[in-house]
Amino acid sequence: MLIFRTKSDIQRHLNAFNSAENKIGFIPTMGALHQGHISLIDESVKRGLYTICSIFVNPTQFNDKRDLENYPRTLDSDIQLLEKSGCNAVFVPSVEEIYPSEDTRKFSFGNLDSLLEGKHRPGHFLGVAKVVSILFEIIKPDFAFFGSKDYQQVLVIKELTKQLNLPITIVPCSIIREKDGLAMSSRNTLLSETERKAASLIPELMKKVKEWKGRGLLISEIKQKIETELAKNPIYKLEYFEVCDKTTLFPLNELTPNIKPIALIACFVGKIRLIDNLEL
């Protein structure tokens, strides 16, 4: 596996490609890789694509400096995982390489900027859009793979690709879960043993949401049940739980046959913020 640290080096490598014969699959990450990331690599490799992963902890998408400082960085083990995965190349740029000067661009994603993650993490999706657009410009992939745990982010990146008129197919991939159902996340490594055990309640509740929906409970009743369950233990702090239209992410007040619903949650377990979703 080839390792590149500068734009000029990886672009020189990619310029030698015959694009008609070599399609590129790209997986942008912030490192601290786990099997969820590897599943994205696997999907690209399975399609016969020249597979490139990037590892870059993007400062512009953090609205909490402590979160940026505490984000796990495990580059050596990340490289080892990628070498075993069949990844062809990894791009590991510095902050200065990605942002040689201040990026003052603005993007608008309509209501996605103000709902759910957009509401609770102001500026987050602007930072995501900046770094993804820069990486897309450097790599020029044919396909880009993203995990569906960050469901709202996938919708934002699809919209970004559309706005910039980029010839890139965005491929959402299934959530990969631990044995107890917890969605795999780099942040899981920051949980204490007690917090990790407590975190398993989140996927359990999401399964119950589907069960409660099947029993005909109203969305307001489901939300109340979620809040009641999490309030039983002070280790949890619910930031939001919503049942939304899968396409627009507008919160729903009722379930109707013509709308495909998705349940989304953000919850602190101790000081670690976890998210999850489940199509209903």
| pLDDT by 10s per residue, the chain, length 280 | 999 999 999 999 998 876 667 899 999 999 999 999 999 999 999 999 999 999 999 999 998 888 888 888 999 999 999 999 999 999 999 999 999 999 999 999 988 988 999 999 999 999 999 999 999 999 999 999 999 999 999 999 999 999 999 999 999 999 999 999 999 999 999 999 999 999 999 999 999 999 999 999 999 999 999 999 999 999 999 999 999 999 999 999 998 888 999 999 999 999 999 999 999 9
- Regarding whether 190 and 142 lie in a shared domain, the answer is no
Q: Verify that 155 and 238 share a domain, yes or no.
A: no
Is position 255 within any domain?
yes
Residue 179 lies in a domain: no
Q: What is the pLDDT of residue 249?
A: 96
Of 149, 173, 197, the residue at which a domain comes to its end is 173
Asked if residue 135 belongs to a domain, the reply is yes
Whole-number Å distance between alpha carbons of 206 and 264? 8
Q: Can you say whether residue 181 is alpha, beta or left, with left for phi > 0 and alpha for psi between -120 and 50 degrees? A: left
Residues 157 and 86 in one domain: yes
Asked if residue 7 belongs to a domain, the reply is: yes
Quick one: 21 and 142 in the same domain? yes
Spatial distance between the Cα atoms of 190 and 70, rounded to a whole number of angstroms:
9
Computed from CA positions of residues 60, 65, 66, 70, in that sequence, does the dihedral angle turn out positive or negative?
positive
Predicted pLDDT at 208: 97
- For tokens 């490609």, the residue is 17
Distance of CA 238 to the CA centre of its chain: 19
Domain limit, last residue, from 142, 173, 204? 173
pTM comes to 0.95
User: Looking at the structure, do residues 150 and 37 belong to the same domain, yes or no?
Assistant: yes
In a domain, 241, yes or no: yes
Give phi and psi for 144, each to the nearest 5.
-130, 135
* Residues 122 and 148 both lie in one domain: yes
- Residue 13 annotated among the catalytic residues of the structure: no
Asked if residue 116 is part of any domain, the answer here is yes
Q: Pairing state of beta strands 236-245 and 50-55?
A: unpaired
Looking at the fold, whether 90 and 113 belong to one and the same domain comes out as yes
- Token pair for 16: 């030698």
Domain CATH number, residue 39: 3.40.50.620
The one catalytic residue among 34, 37, 120, 124: 37
181 within a domain of the structure (yes/no): no
Q: Are 183 and 203 in contact (CB under 8 A)?
A: yes
What is the C-alpha to C-alpha distance for residues 76 and 110, in angstroms, rounded to an integer?
Answer: 39
- Any idea what the CATH number is for the domain that residue 231 is in? 3.30.1300.10
Range list of H helices, 54-150: 65-70, 75-85, 95-98, 117-120, 124-139
Looking at 173, 195, 211, the residue that finishes a domain is 173
- One domain for residues 36 and 78: yes
- Cα(196)–Cα(200) distance, rounded to whole angstroms? 7
| Statement to judge: residues 206 and 135 lie in one domain | no
Identify whether residues 47 and 153 lie together within a single domain: yes
Looking at the structure of the chain, the number of domains it has is 2
Query: 29 and 143 in one domain?
Result: yes
In a domain, 29, yes or no: yes
Residues across the chain: 280
Note whether 11 and 134 are same-domain residues.
yes
What domain range includes position 74? 2-173
